Amino acid sequence: MRVPVIAGNWKMYKTTEEAVSFLRAFLPLVADAKGVEIILAPPFTAISTVAELVRGSGVRVSSQNVHFAEEGAYTGEVSIRMLRDAGASHCIIGHSERRQYYAETDDSVNRKNRSVLAAGLTPIFCLGETLEQREAGNTFDVVETQLFGGLKDISAAEGPKVIVAYEPVWAIGTGKTATPEQAQDVHSFLRNRLKKLWGEASDSVRILYGGSVKPENIVSLMAKEDIDGALVGGACLAADSFAKIVKYK
Ligand code: PGA
């Protein structure tokens, strides 16, 4: 049984004060949510405040990026040890905005996935095709390359801890959600590829869908066999809409 995960990525939104008012509204709304793992990914500056406030609630905290090195002269970067120190247990890795604007590659994503796993944190490893790639009929090739590239040299013993997030780039922040059938097609393909990589151990890997998830479409997405949760951007910024997504059941 795969426990569903609903993760909210705040991207570059919310000061600590705004984070506090979000949590004041959000935590009571999800206090009775059962059978779902809730993860919030604030910007670095709000991680420790959020971690402090969610303590005891079951809500987990993620970063939106991390550096793969243990420490060093990397101006502007944040290490895994610093994230753990601030209270994060998860890291979003390889989000398409980082691939697009910050030169993230399958190789850097792989180094980050490996370092995060080795340190005992959980990667939320993102992949997905662009509109051009989909229209050219290359979706499966693209996601397979990203999947195998990002998970290179990760064993069946530790790999299944990774949370995979399939996020078609054309559906992110555009209001265009993939249909549940389109998402399911890619999710079942990814599950099949994971099986090739890790055998039976891959059955426990959670594969999230991301891209314009809202309270209105979460139920039909979650009804699909291989969709184990959601990575939510825009609709996680307001407490009531994110709580509705968390409590989709
Ligand atoms: P969106 O973003 O829900 O605003 O489309 C999803 C994401 O980038 O993870």
Catalytic residue among 90, 95, 97, 187: 95
Q: What residues does 230 pair with on adjacent strands?
A: 6, 209
SS3 content of the chain, % helix, strand, coil (to 5): 45, 15, 40
Residue 72 alpha carbon to ligand 1 centre in Å? 32
H/E stretch holding 229 reads: strand 229-232
Q: Which runs of consecutive H residues, i.e. helices, occur in the chain?
A: 16-30, 44-54, 80-86, 96-101, 106-118, 131-135, 139-150, 180-198, 218-222, 239-246
DSSP 234: G
The residue ranges of the chain whose pLDDT is under 50 are none
Alpha carbon distances (Å) from 207 to 126, 150, 164, 173, 234: 10, 14, 5, 20, 20
Contact call for residues 228 and 207 (beta carbons, < 8 A): yes
Active site residue 167: yes
- State the pLDDT at residue 105: 98
Q: What's the pLDDT at 98?
A: 98
Question: pLDDT digit string (tens) for 89-113?
Answer: 999 999 999 999 999 999 999 999 9
Inter-residue contact 112 to 123 (CB < 8 Å)? yes
95 is catalytic: yes
Residue 176 has what pLDDT? 83
Q: How far is CA 63 from CA 13, 60, 151, in A?
A: 13, 10, 19
pLDDT tens readout for residues 5-35: 999 999 999 999 999 999 999 999 999 999 9
What pLDDT is stored for residue 177 in this prediction?
Answer: 84
pTM of the model: 0.97
| Angle made by CA atoms 163, 165, 168, in degrees to the nearest 5 | 170
113 CB near ligand 1 (under 6 Å): no
Closest Cα partner for 22 from 62, 56, 45, 49?
Answer: 49
C-alpha distance from residue 237 to each of 8, 45, 113, 208, 226 (Å): 8, 16, 26, 18, 26
pLDDT of 120 reads 97
Q: To test the ligand 1 pocket, which listed residue (98, 214, 231, 242) has its Cβ within 8 A of the most ligand atoms?
A: 231
**Which amino acid would we find at residue 127?**
L
Q: How many CB atoms lie within 10 A of CB 181?
A: 9
In this predicted structure, what is the pLDDT of residue 89? 98
Cα 172 to ligand 1 centre (Å): 5
Residue 126 · residue 96 · CB < 8 Å:
yes
